[in-house]
Amino acid sequence: MAQTASTNADMKTRALGGADEGLWLRAEKQSGGIGRLGRKWESPEGNLYCSTLVRCRRDDPAPSSLSFVAALAVHKAIGTHLPHDDFWLKWPNDILVSGLKICGILLERAGDAVVVGIGVNVSVAPELDGRIVTSLHNEGSDPALAPGSLLESLAGYFAETLVEWRQSGLTSILDAWQKRAHPLGTRLSTSDANGQPLEGEYAGLSSDGALRLRKHDGTLIDIHAGDVNVG
């Protein structure tokens, strides 16, 4: 579609109407795109804005862990278009290229389905919450790379990773995620449930995907939600 308020909102309507798993929607522009924690996601023409849906099954891992599936799929897809290897994952589902944000992922529930929204900066790097972001074109991808072409590879990687999530379980997905993340010992900062700052070193992931943070006094704590900054 040329323009919509939000591909996630459109996909939630389709999910509640009985749409099949595997459907993808893409818009050239969005007027009401949102990111995690309700933040506005700038959506100018030239980037990828898309959503898909996953029907939850009884034996599936926790639906929230689909954020790792999506992050891995995006990581693999953009890797096929970058001329360098300076890109990695940051908990819970950020992809950083040259240390800069390039992607947003948002999961929303719609009945028995999870809608997975993905935005990737292909040709435009709009300002985001005062942070410096980048785009695939800025990072040296083929200038002719178009959002639709990126979606083709992304959809394939997402389908493959979803099968692994179901057949091999969450442990396999988390192992794959950690291999593509910043190294153990990386200095991180975040905040606790009360908004108090926390600092420490990255100590991997727990079995359910929580971020393990080793504080300066050696205490190991699990972070289940929140923003994480590197350095």
45 pLDDT above the threshold of 90: no
Residue 126 confidence class, pLDDT cut points 50, 70, 90: confident
For the residues 96-106, what does the mean pLDDT come to?
94
Helix (H, G, I), strand (E, B) or coil at 165: helix
- Which residues is 53 bridged to in the sheet? 115
Helices (H), 41-184: 66-79, 147-167, 170-179
For the residues 40-46, what does the mean pLDDT come to?
71
In this predicted structure, what is the pLDDT of residue 37?
46
Which helix (DSSP H) or strand (DSSP E) does residue 12 occupy? helix 7-16
- Which residues is 116 bridged to in the sheet? 52, 107
**C-alpha pair distances (Å), 136 with each of 74, 88, 95, 128, 182:** 12, 14, 12, 16, 20
pTM: 0.92
Residue 69 confidence class, pLDDT cut points 50, 70, 90: very high
Number of neighbours of residue 199 by Cβ within 10 angstroms: 13
In this predicted structure, what is the pLDDT of residue 152?
97
Within 13 Å of residue 176, how many CA atoms lie on the same side as its CB?
A: 19
In this predicted structure, what is the pLDDT of residue 222?
94
